[in-house]
A = this chain, B = another copy of it.
Amino acid sequence: MAAAGGARVLAHPALDEIRLEHVLHALSDPIRLRIVRQMAVASTGLVCSYFELPVAKSTLTHHFRVLRESGVIRQIYRGTAKLSELRGADLEKLFPGLLDSVLRAADEEAARLPGA
């Protein structure tokens, strides 16, 4: 999609288009959960190469698309770099406490099962 000025813009669901089922599905994959946990502690948008994950680049691109299309993350182009960040405020508005409880549960599970 091309926006005014030729900047590439990626499609995101508006706030009222975000569905709980899609958010839970996006969070139900271990790789996507690791991405979201890393974004949660970042104070800025992150490029895909920031994430050191044991999957192919095309698989990673797929995971980022699932996260974006479900409304969990926002991705914007800044020059040639694609930056990704959590839509924490949007999710908190729609589903109060949900993301926090998932992140806390994921942290505790990672501590409980360090090899998982």
Contacts and interface: CB of A to CB of B under 8 A. Distances in A.
Interface of A: 16, 19-22, 24-25, 27-30, 33, 94-98, 100-102, 104-106, 108-109, 112, 116
A30 B108 CA distance: 27
The binding surface of chain A is classed by DSSP as helix
Contacts of A102: 20, 24, 98
A42 B112 CA distance: 32
A89 B107 CA distance: 20
Question: Which 8 residue pairs spanning A and B have beta carbons closest together?
Answer: A95-B105, A24-B28, A25-B28, A97-B101, A98-B101, A101-B101, A20-B109, A20-B105
28 contacts: A19-B109, A19-B116, A20-B106, A20-B109, A21-B33, A24-B24, A24-B25, A24-B27, A24-B28, A24-B102, A25-B25, A28-B28, A94-B105, A94-B108, A95-B101, A95-B104, A95-B105, A95-B108, A95-B109, A96-B101, A96-B104, A96-B105, A97-B97, A97-B100, A97-B104, A98-B101, A100-B101, A101-B101
